[in-house]
Amino acid sequence: MTNTIIILDFGSQYIQLIARRIREQHVYCELIPWNAPPEKILTLNPKGIVLSGGPDSVYKPGAPQVPEYIFKTGIPILGICYGMQAMVQALGGRVKRASEPEYGFTTLETFSGNPLLPVGEQQVWMSHGDLIESIPPGFRNFSRTNNTPICGMVDPKRNYFGVQFHPEVGHTPGGAKMLRRFVIDICEASPDWTPASIIQKSVNRIREQVGQDRVLAAVSGGVDSSVATALVHKAIGNQLDAVFVDNGLLRQGEPQRVVKTFSQHLGVSFHPINAVETFLENLRGVKDPETKRRLIGERFIRIFEQEAKKLGTPPYLVQGTIYPDVVESSGTGQDQTRRIKSHHNVGGLPEDMEFKLIEPLRDLFKDEVRAVGEALGLPHEMVWRQPFPGPGLAVRCLGEITWERLERLRAADAIFTQALADAGLLHMHPNEPSASPQRGTAQAFAILLPVQAVGVMGDQRTYQDVIALRAVTTEDFMTADWARLPHSLLAQVANQIVNEVEGVNRVVYDITSKPPATIEWE
């Protein structure tokens, strides 16, 4: 794919945000580790290269460096934060420890004309403890802050650029426009990364991979598995069988909704399986979240293998793995960032499984998945359904999994989500008023905690379970903020849960953003 921007990963936890901002310009980009073999990049014949941020200091022994061959490609290069400093170090400038590090909002003054930023002041987001003491030959400085005299540099002859701030984050309002100028105006990349092109490329790739073989799709009713299944069905038609496993870890009424939706809308060969007792027995006494994920992932595969034999042993399994799953399970997939948790689609599968995986959404962000779903003609309620973790309520029912505890959690979750729906706060479709960060919720759910609290009910002392409520606003699910729900709604929900859900006498609300927390509790 020649119309590509390459992002060299130096270890930034937010490198995927750079990718997302570039893809918002309808230009395809790939994340590649800084120390990847040259042919991995050169064979892509990219239009431009972005050097990401990172946690190290470029002058420390063993710190990641810009490979020399990068500067021989003759294409535009943009360094961001650490990437700028790494470029400076590689080309003959100097970087040193800052006497006053900059973290957070900063006013940037651009004092010289350049292709990236307009002259004047703007708000940017800084996160650096080092600064550039001198720029390399051929460069000139074009912006500064009170604490950092060199915040933007350009070598106009080679089309090399560097910025000390982070244009990819929402805290830099003009960052998206800056990245667009680099990608479209300077790199001259064509904006052809659209839902239609994604579908066509995926269909071609799936057909080439599968040939005439039969395929199983693991469906949950969530947007990711639904879009993945629809995409594979478009590619291979009746070669596909969709399998839905009711593992007992779904939300209230969900198994019935999934069966109805798939039967009415997708037109695929659909096979529902009741495996509730099998999963609950497998999880008996297990409290560790990583063990839960591994056991659930393995049990899913074993059930699919059994179903495959009934259907003629299809060698391929479709999964709705998306890019954030990969990022949080194994860094960015580039071995540069630290693993946050395993995901049953990525980190919990048995090594000896009999399937080859088809993951058509593996490189897509959630908003791209939804755009593809809409382009495929999937129903609104399916495409804009709130995310639900692959391991289901197992990672929202903290501690041991029992049917009684799951039912308690299901009842509390249903009360919370119904109250949000009644208030118009449950969904986050971009064309709905509820998409506003002040009003909508991108994801909302209840968590059953493995602790009990003292209470008084009916003049009697109680010692019962605690429910935590979680609701967040986000654009990309890589970062998120807690939703500022009306106090009256929270009071209503808490009162209803305590009165209607047997065994619960306390409700709390999670007001932690991501980071430092993740959206899910386990």
Active centre residues (catalytic): 81, 166, 168
DSSP letters spanning 280-335: HHHTTT---HHHHHHHHHHHHHHHHHHHHHHTT--SEEE----HHHHHHHHTBTTS
For 51, phi and psi rounded to 5 degrees? Answer: -100, 120
Of 187, 94, 76, nearest in space to 134 by CA: 94
Question: What angle do helix axes 403-422 and 487-500 make, rounded to 10 degrees?
Answer: 150
- Ramachandran class of 377: left when φ > 0, alpha when ψ lies in -120 to 50, beta otherwise: left
Q: Are 26 and 68 in contact (CB under 8 A)?
A: no
Of 359, 366, 357, 518, nearest in space to 430 by CA: 366
Q: Count CB atoms within 10 A of the CB of residue 1.
A: 10
413 to 171, 392, 396, 471: CA distances (angstroms): 32, 13, 10, 11
Cα 34 to Cα 11: distance, rounded to the nearest angstrom: 9
Specify the residue for token string 């799709």. 217
The amino acid that residue 418 corresponds to is Q
Token pair belonging to 257: 């909704």
Q: Count CB atoms within 10 A of the CB of residue 134.
A: 14
Classify residue 162 by burial, with Cβ atoms within 10 Å: 0-12, 13-18, 19+: buried
